[in-house]
Structure 1
Amino acid sequence: MMIDKSMIARAPASIRSLPEELPVPAEFRQPPPGYGPVPLWFWNARLDEDEVRRQIREMREKGCAGAFVCARHGLQTPFLSEEWLRLARAAVEESVACGFQLWLHDEPDASADATIALHPEFRARSLQIAEHLAEGAPLTLPIAEAPSSTIRNEKSEIGFLSAWAVPLGSGDEPAGESRRLTPESDGRIAFDPGDGRWRVLLFTVAEAEGADALNPDASALLLRLTRERYARAVGRHFGRTIPGIFTGDAAPRSASDRPGGAALPWSSLLPGACRERCGYDLLDHLPALAAGVPGAARVRCDYFATLSALYTRHFLALDREWCAAHRLAATGHPLAEEPLAPRAPRRADAAAACRCLDIPGVGNRTAATGGVRHRLAASIAHQSGRDRVFSETFGGGGWGTTLAQRKASADWQLANGINLFVPHAVYYSVYGKRKRDDPPSEFEQEPFWPHYRHFADYLSRLSFLLTRGKHAARIAVLFPSRSARAHFAAGGPPLAEEERPAVALAGFGAPDRLLLARIEKDLQALCDLLAQLHFDFDFVDEEGLAEARIDRSRLCLGPERYELLLLPSMTTCRRRTWERVRGFFEAGGNVLSCGLLPYQTGEGEENDAWLRAEVLELTTMDPTRVEHFSASSARAMGRAAMRPLKVNRDHGSRVARYVPSAVPLPEQRALLMKTLLRTLAAIDVDLDCGDIVCHQRETADGKIIFLANTADAPRRVKAVFYALGHPEEWDAETGEVRRLWQYARAGEKVTMPLRFAPHQSRVIVFTGRDGVRVERANFHVRRIIEQEEHYLVEGEAWDYDRPLDTPPNCSLAREGGGRWAEGIDQGLVEPVALGEVWDLRVLGDNYLVLEDWRFHVPRSGQDPALLSTFQEHWPELPRRRPITGDPDLEPLERELPDEVWLQTRFHLDAAPRGLSLLLEPLDVPYSVFVNGHEVVPLQTGVLDPRFLTADVADVAVEGENVVALRLSHAGARALEPDSRQRITCDLVPEPARLLGEFTALTDEEGSYRVYPGTPEQITTGDWCARGFPHYSGALEYSQMVTLSTDHFGCQLVLACEDPAVLVQVLVNGKPAGTCLWPPYALDVSDLLFAGVNQITLRVTNTAANALLGEARPSGLLGPVRIEPYTRLSVPVPKE
């Protein structure tokens, strides 16, 4: 593949000089294009141009900045066919017209089949490791394939490679040199263990999924078969409407491809590349990859380093070069990013992979939080001048995932450096099996889609703001990937439950699995502790440390300047890495060890001995000595765990040691860490609540501090910031910028009270010059108004139900001095509790998901009239299977009969005025009958654009009603799903649904009975138990409430205690706002008046009820009240 090298030097769109100033408030309120969510857009059915264009407009209207076009399960328009490319051109045209960014998505598995079809030798390979125990008797093992000596010259790629016997000692750990076993002439391995106990390891090269990501010729062909076709079709839009291309799930594969599996990635190129890099034949040291034989650490480190080099050079670098030559940003995330152990065999080097991407990213399954991968990707971006870091997020969370859960996850990710969100996903359709393809949907299948713009704008504002300036971290944490490689043994025994207590004590000489578990556990605990103490930090890997400059006692990588290098538990580092650690200390930098000290390099025994001596000299501690912390008191434990080790008297820098895991009490552990860190690095943020996470940025004219509450409960926080200028709050929900008036200042130290609702975020910005402020007050200060003779300090009580201990008072500070003053206490006003009975309006048809189908394969000549009577003895369809990475056919699809009859039923108390049957399309002809009458379903787009409805009001009867399907499978064939990309058929019906104006209540047997009409009133509580078990949509609750004139000296807040899952508020017919997440409270002061008022709440749930037939709690689950916060004012004289 020829690439114009002159174009590669161009800076990709995602790498630019970082903006140095804060945005103006108007720009924050409405950020530039490109900062909103950019969902994966699953093209997963037979595509229609008008529908493609409509969906683009719909996403744009709801605040999505763009979308990644992604071939997905259920696709019936062949990927990269002429029809696909025609639709891609139409999508680009529509995107140009409406200001939408259309990103390409090239998951390598999608085109690997074509690559392998042209060149079967490009199929990925894996090194399979079979293990057998030999003890007490000779062992004979057949080898299916003839022994292959040609493997050694790397021409033949499949089959037996070699066999080895490893002696075992106590604890089944290796105890000596391994022995190579030669196959017998009959193709068997024979081994006599004698009196010993041995592990016999058989190494075989096997085919794996996908194309070989380690082979440059395979990668070049993969690019040519996919990218070049896109370039011919829509290339003139590259770098403009098409900003970049997403390479997802690209990693070296093993056949088992599962954590702990006895397989490793392989390629015919690996042995030669390892020989060239490391100077020895990897094939002579294969046992080290699976057992802790002597020298195993070096072999493992060399294997993974070679693997990583081939992967980055032969796949990721080629990908990035192609993108740069075509003015595209290369982005994506490889597989298996967390935790350290599975990461090693799947990708080898996370940091190196991130460096090869213009926009590094991660996968964030579900709406979960936690882990280290987000910060690792963000750290590489911070250190290399990349301003965006993306997360493919929310996939697999299920249809019940709420916007509140999404927002809480996004907040945590923002605090860890993510600022480009790729929600998983917008589904072109969810009919049939598609709804089980890793939901939820970020599209109109969700009833909260009309409100999605609020969420998109929230993400857009924060993503924009948190790219300004540069990340402000003072601490660099060395990422222990080499230690993970050194102790990863493929197929080794998993960590047993009884071994877990020993993990915290594992040290030199411990089994690999214990050391690997400790390295991973200590790293996560250390990161959690730093976050709890609000010390922002970056990871730096060994390659990054080697490239870093040391300038005036700072470790400098790109724009980042670190004053403390923190070493987590690590056993292995390169010689040059420790030389850099020592060099940093000698140049005036501080070093803190927080766990195991390294004792091996993975570069040979001579270098190992050098490292041990150097570690001892720098830290005064022997890294091979196993520590035992057994003090008699918490204080003594703290003293033992925290030790100053060495001081650089020329610069005042220090080497210190603190082992948090040795301190059992969490409070003491955090206090000791905080105390120590304050002596080693300057502090920027100090909060008295560990549930708040933060992210800090600096600009030329200010400082940005993003804070997020990770707790399910409200938090009252005393916040201390070290910054110049006056503080402002930049509200990402509304786009408002508000001056904060209530804080105390002592030099750069600013102290202020902050309150957080559950999972609430706040952005505090320091900018400009300091001015008049309230340093102390016993109420919430809203504003300061300067008048002729005094300052008027206005606000309201912190709590609506707790009186002030003293009259309202405050201490005002300004240039030239300060004054204290007191106002008049207005007292409390009683809150207004709304009643439990509400007037009800149903904003849409009700749904009821019917019992699953019973099926029958008719005999020849069997009378179809049988279908009009429900057949209790027919078996039920098996439960539908979710689509996973290894999709499978439904049982009925494996042996398709020519015809299948299916039945379900529903019970009517009386026939409603309007009643419809809601069905999903099938890929075979079928007929629908209700009580023996054929009905015709039409595509109406209810719930999903492809869903069908049939009017059944005229054929439904009081009592039992039988719904039947006759499916013709004649000539149909269920093809096996192809790799990860496409299920190929929908031949088994999904459960049917009723649709109409009715309620559904359970009878004594637990079955649903349908009653015509809907109630005029409803009580507070789960609407599923009140006739709407499978309703997905909005119900409108209304009631009248009377307020006295006393309430209008207060700020009046309407608070809903537990709406499921979001609530839109109208007061006297006027919109007050929409609450998508906590706090479910709005200021409605300006919409209320004395006397009778109408309160209307429109509560919306998720699609889980209607799509899955699950009665997820929905509606107003808790009380509603109007909370009066007393308005207060204090005049403070100027003189």
Structure 2
Amino acid sequence: MDREVWKNPQAAKELEEAEIPLWFWNDKLEKRELLRQLKMKTEIGVTCTIPHARTNGGEGYIGGYLDEDWFDKIDTVMQYKKKHQEPLWLYDEIDWPAGTCNKTITLEEKYREQYLTFQKFEIPAGKPFRAQLKSVTGKRITGNPETVEKGEFDYNIFIFDKVTMQAYDIREYFKYLIFGPELEFQADRDAVAYVAKVQVDAYEYGGKGQVSYINGEATRAFLQSTYEKYREYYQTEFGTTITGVFNDETRMCNPLPWCEEFPGVFQDRKGYSILPRLADLIIPGETPGRTRCDYFDVVAYLYQTRYFGEIHKWCKANNLKLFAHLLGEETIYGHARYSGDYLRQNKYLDIPGADHLGKGIGSLNIKYTASGAHSYGKDMTAVEVFAGCGWDITFEEYIRMVTWMYQMGMKTIINHGFFYSDRGARKNDWPPSQFFQWQGWSRMKEGNAMIRRLHYALTGGCSEMEVLVYHPMESFWLQYEPNLLYTHGFAEGAFLENEQAARMDRELQLLLNALLSANIDFELLHKDALENFKTENAIMVNTKTDQRFSLIILPMCRVLPVEAVSLLKQFAEEGGHILALDELPAMAMPQSADSEVIQAFRNMKAQGKITLLPIEDKEAVCSEVIRKIPHPVKIVQGSKGTENNHLCYPSYLIDPYLHTGENITGVMFTRYIKNGQRNTLFMNYGNKEVTVQVAVEADKQPEVWDTFTGTVQRAEVIKAEEHLYYLLLRLPCNYGVIVRG
């Protein structure tokens, strides 16, 4: 790394996208004030920004959107940016979530989110149950017995024995009357019926904010209404002045999303029709759970391709980078509920993103985003942060949070936000502003310099770690019983009723936090990224990043994709270490490969290739990992890890997660390889300076690069052996230092 860049990072043009605040346009805009605020940002080194109109319930932005007035204001910013050779990102919506074009796309019902609902009926023994027969779309089914029974099985009624949950074939109970088939069911045992329906909310009652993200037509309508407008005005600036697009907080609003093409896509990808099995999505048990696995796999695929894939294709054609953050990144439950599979949604993002509300630190949302990015070979990541921290957040808390974001794998800080105005109720819109209204503004130039240094040291290479954890998404789907009583926006909602699903959600959080607390860094592997990995002499290699892993953890992985099984078999045969927690995989995706999975893991277990431990014993898990992996950097004396006061969330969703009261203490370090050299970021999360002794593998005496002051000095060596240095590190509180060597 260049010492001059480190000393004066604000002079380096290549670091201009280290910090990119959301600039809240939350009042009536005046050109003179826009230019004044742009100049203030330039003076502290914040040279890239994202204009973001926020209405704040009527006490915010005053002006037009995507009209002549709007583009007149954007043009004021554009001309300033061109003159000063600074970059600009576009925010592709007014307010949020993205995809609605100020709630105009959803005026058309066909673009709103469709979802499945189920009504349950108890059928006592001997009592008739009668109903008109309809399809799941609500249309009456007509026709004679021959055409109905030979047609596609999409009836909306599903009946089960109440005790055994064995399904009845309701076609045996049809009556063919003048207007078509009707159902008349009666049995000598208690039964239960589920009546399914595809539903769409009315625009006035929630539908206006519920665009369908698995409907490619809705996405293309959004692109036409918004992206094409910007292209008309600024195509010549794309890729030069305008470099990126911010796509904000998309998610499935309802637990069981649907779209017109869903049955066909499901049939093509899974080889069977989902229509006769729709009730499997809500009834307990592993047999219906196999259908749920396939259903959520298709949801994740459609979200990935029909929304992010479409927008990415447009951005790539127009030389723009796509950034997005989703919702519910904190837990595996949130991943299933809001996106089918969160990690897979990073595939088509040029800059995968996270959101972090509140000033608590220690959650897993940031780590999940970084892993999702790295699994696809993407180095750049960004986090929208500081919303909900409150006006009393101090500068010291600010830079402490920034450093934790970088340790978890973020590369760009997107401030939420820089307020154009704090007039009246505007000051209460998820504060604080980190702009001139904030108590810490006088030190923001120092903060920007630190952010740029961290960006400089931790980009252009790859994160270094030895542990790869398979994210047990398929196993969670198997147990997950969606709660249909919640849509979005709740403080305590959508409880996990299935005990095994709740246990998985809890124990996975506890496991990942235990690893981080012990300074055991890791990446997460998932189904969609398996093609990017290969084995090489008992090492699992990410072919996109060249990251190398010597140990793989399978936490509660009852279900595994068959592609993962073949990869793990080869890894084990070469001598790689596999640690299975709680159980060995026994089911496959697809289901037809179950026997292959069972036999493969039986053989690996018999040959001593797998260590099996209970997932509750985190101490034993961490000890086993530490025993089996190399340690090029190690704390040998002093605080050897961190303590986290908030190791997991309760077994219900929070929308949105507000990180308050969360905290970690102690010392954490993370490693990054850049240009063949190791940069290790050490951070002391205590409230006073601490001293630790560390052992570092290096070819020459390491140096300490201070991220806040910009100083560089030789590390204090206690003793040196061949390629191994024992150092004395004095770690300040609130910000980190990088040991380079």
TM-score, length-scaled by structure 2: 0.83
The superposition leaves residues 1086-1124 of structure 1 with CA deviations (integer Å, 9 ceiling, x where unpaired) of: xxxxxxxxxxxxxxxxxxxxxxxxxxxxxxxxxxxxxxx
Aligned to 1:23: 2
Aligned to 2:149: none
The superposition leaves residues 152-182 of structure 1 with CA deviations (integer Å, 9 ceiling, x where unpaired) of: 99xxxxxx9723344444xxxx743366598
In structure 2, distance between residues paired with 1:145 and 1:449: 63
Counterpart of 2:200 (choices 202, 206, 218) is 206
Per the TM alignment, residue 91 of structure 1 is displaced from its structure 2 partner at its CA by 0.6
In structure 1, distance between residues paired with 2:174 and 2:483: 23
Aligned to 2:710: 735
Per the TM alignment, residue 704 of structure 1 is displaced from its structure 2 partner at its CA by 0.5
**2:190 equivalent to 1:196:** yes
Counterpart of 2:571 (choices 563, 581, 584) is 584
Contact 1:414 1:695 in 2 (8 A): no
In structure 2, distance between residues paired with 1:152 and 1:422: 53
Distance 1:305 1:701, change over 3 A: closer
Distance 1:563 1:46, change over 3 A: same
Contact 1:126 1:253 in 2 (8 A): no
Q: Percent identity?
A: 21
Counterpart of 1:689 (choices 640, 646, 654) is 640
Aligned to 2:28: 46
Contact 1:35 1:464 in 2 (8 A): no
In structure 1, distance between residues paired with 2:191 and 2:725: 67
- More helix per residue: 2
For 1:42, give the aligned amino acid: F
Distance 1:113 1:700, change over 3 A: closer
Distance 1:748 1:451, change over 3 A: same
In structure 2, distance between residues paired with 1:86 and 1:63: 25
Counterpart of 1:677 (choices 621, 625, 629) is 625
Counterpart of 1:614 (choices 600, 619, 624) is 600
In structure 2, distance between residues paired with 1:329 and 1:356: 10
RCO higher in structure (CA 8 A, sep ≥6): 2
Distance 1:60 1:423, change over 3 A: same
Q: Write out aligned runs for 1:983-1002 (5 A).
A: none
Counterpart of 1:530 (choices 515, 520, 524) is 515
Gaps of 5+ in 1: 1-21, 154-159, 255-262, 495-502, 504-510, 621-645, 648-653, 664-668, 767-1135
Aligned to 1:795: none
The superposition leaves residues 644-689 of structure 1 with CA deviations (integer Å, 9 ceiling, x where unpaired) of: xx44xxxxxx4323335136xxxxx1xx445423443211222252
Distance 1:66 1:136, change over 3 A: farther
**2:226 equivalent to 1:226:** yes
Please give the secondary structure, in 1, of the residue aligned with 2:717: coil
In structure 2, distance between residues paired with 1:110 and 1:765: 47
Please give the secondary structure, in 2, of the residue aligned with 1:205: strand
Distance 1:607 1:36, change over 3 A: closer
**2:28 equivalent to 1:68:** no
Per the TM alignment, residue 252 of structure 1 is displaced from its structure 2 partner at its CA by 3.5
Distance 1:279 1:386, change over 3 A: closer
Aligned to 1:409: 401
Gaps of 5+ in 2: 143-153, 202-206, 487-494, 643-666
In structure 1, distance between residues paired with 2:356 and 2:174: 47
Contact 1:112 1:210 in 2 (8 A): no
Aligned to 2:492: none
TM-score, length-scaled by structure 1: 0.55
**2:49 equivalent to 1:59:** no
Contact 1:37 1:421 in 2 (8 A): yes
In structure 1, distance between residues paired with 2:128 and 2:711: 75
Contact 1:519 1:570 in 2 (8 A): no
Aligned to 2:535: 550
Q: Write out aligned runs for 1:74-113 (5 A).
A: 74-107=60-93, 108-111=98-101, 113=103
Per the TM alignment, residue 565 of structure 1 is displaced from its structure 2 partner at its CA by 1.8
Aligned to 1:128: 117
Please give the secondary structure, in 2, of the residue aligned with 1:243: strand
For 2:27, give the aligned amino acid: A
Which of the pair has more CA radius of gyration?
1
The superposition leaves residues 314-354 of structure 1 with CA deviations (integer Å, 9 ceiling, x where unpaired) of: 21111111111111111111222221113213211222211
In structure 2, distance between residues paired with 1:412 and 1:178: 55
In structure 2, distance between residues paired with 1:25 and 1:562: 34
Counterpart of 1:364 (choices 356, 362, 365) is 356
Aligned to 1:1105: none
Aligned to 2:104: 114
Distance 1:444 1:762, change over 3 A: same
Distance 1:404 1:177, change over 3 A: farther
Distance 1:195 1:223, change over 3 A: same
Distance 1:619 1:111, change over 3 A: same
Contact 1:728 1:739 in 2 (8 A): yes
Aligned to 1:570: 557
In structure 2, distance between residues paired with 1:698 and 1:146: 57
Aligned to 1:661: 616
Q: Write out aligned runs for 1:313-462 (5 A).
A: 313-462=305-454
The superposition leaves residues 287-316 of structure 1 with CA deviations (integer Å, 9 ceiling, x where unpaired) of: 111112563232112111212222222211
Please give the secondary structure, in 1, of the residue aligned with 2:389: coil
Q: Write out aligned runs for 1:792-941 (5 A).
A: none
For 2:370, give the aligned amino acid: A
Q: Aligned pair count? A: 672
Please give the secondary structure, in 2, of the residue aligned with 1:335: coil
Per the TM alignment, residue 135 of structure 1 is displaced from its structure 2 partner at its CA by 6.0
Aligned to 1:762: 737
Per the TM alignment, residue 527 of structure 1 is displaced from its structure 2 partner at its CA by 1.7
Distance 1:613 1:28, change over 3 A: farther
Contact 1:134 1:198 in 2 (8 A): yes
Per the TM alignment, residue 437 of structure 1 is displaced from its structure 2 partner at its CA by 2.3
Contact 1:339 1:371 in 2 (8 A): no
Per the TM alignment, residue 553 of structure 1 is displaced from its structure 2 partner at its CA by 2.3
Per the TM alignment, residue 68 of structure 1 is displaced from its structure 2 partner at its CA by 1.4
Distance 1:110 1:46, change over 3 A: farther
Q: Write out aligned runs for 1:239-250 (5 A).
A: 239-250=239-250
In structure 2, distance between residues paired with 1:190 and 1:712: 72
Distance 1:133 1:437, change over 3 A: farther
Please give the secondary structure, in 1, of the residue aligned with 2:69: helix
Please give the secondary structure, in 1, of the residue aligned with 2:669: strand
Distance 1:112 1:195, change over 3 A: farther
The superposition leaves residues 950-985 of structure 1 with CA deviations (integer Å, 9 ceiling, x where unpaired) of: xxxxxxxxxxxxxxxxxxxxxxxxxxxxxxxxxxxx
In structure 1, distance between residues paired with 2:443 and 2:169: 67
Distance 1:26 1:130, change over 3 A: same
For 2:709, give the aligned amino acid: T
Per the TM alignment, residue 111 of structure 1 is displaced from its structure 2 partner at its CA by 0.3
Q: Give the aligned CA root-mean-square deviation in angstroms.
A: 3.2
The superposition leaves residues 162-220 of structure 1 with CA deviations (integer Å, 9 ceiling, x where unpaired) of: 23344444xxxx74336659899999998778653747454342234333222222211
Per the TM alignment, residue 382 of structure 1 is displaced from its structure 2 partner at its CA by 3.2
The superposition leaves residues 230-282 of structure 1 with CA deviations (integer Å, 9 ceiling, x where unpaired) of: 1122222211221110111223432xxxxxxxx31111111111112112221
Contact 2:682 2:736 in 1 (8 A): yes
Contact 2:519 2:640 in 1 (8 A): no
Please give the secondary structure, in 2, of the residue aligned with 1:661: coil
The superposition leaves residues 98-146 of structure 1 with CA deviations (integer Å, 9 ceiling, x where unpaired) of: 34322001142450633344x4422221222344556689698999999
The superposition leaves residues 541-597 of structure 1 with CA deviations (integer Å, 9 ceiling, x where unpaired) of: 122223312223222212212222222222211122112111111133222223333
For 1:358, give the aligned amino acid: D
In structure 2, distance between residues paired with 1:397 and 1:764: 31
Distance 1:450 1:723, change over 3 A: same
Per the TM alignment, residue 408 of structure 1 is displaced from its structure 2 partner at its CA by 2.5
**2:464 equivalent to 1:472:** yes
Distance 1:238 1:703, change over 3 A: same
Counterpart of 1:286 (choices 274, 278, 285) is 278
For 1:77, give the aligned amino acid: G
Contact 1:211 1:218 in 2 (8 A): yes
Distance 1:673 1:46, change over 3 A: same
Per the TM alignment, residue 67 of structure 1 is displaced from its structure 2 partner at its CA by 1.4
In structure 2, distance between residues paired with 1:166 and 1:576: 35
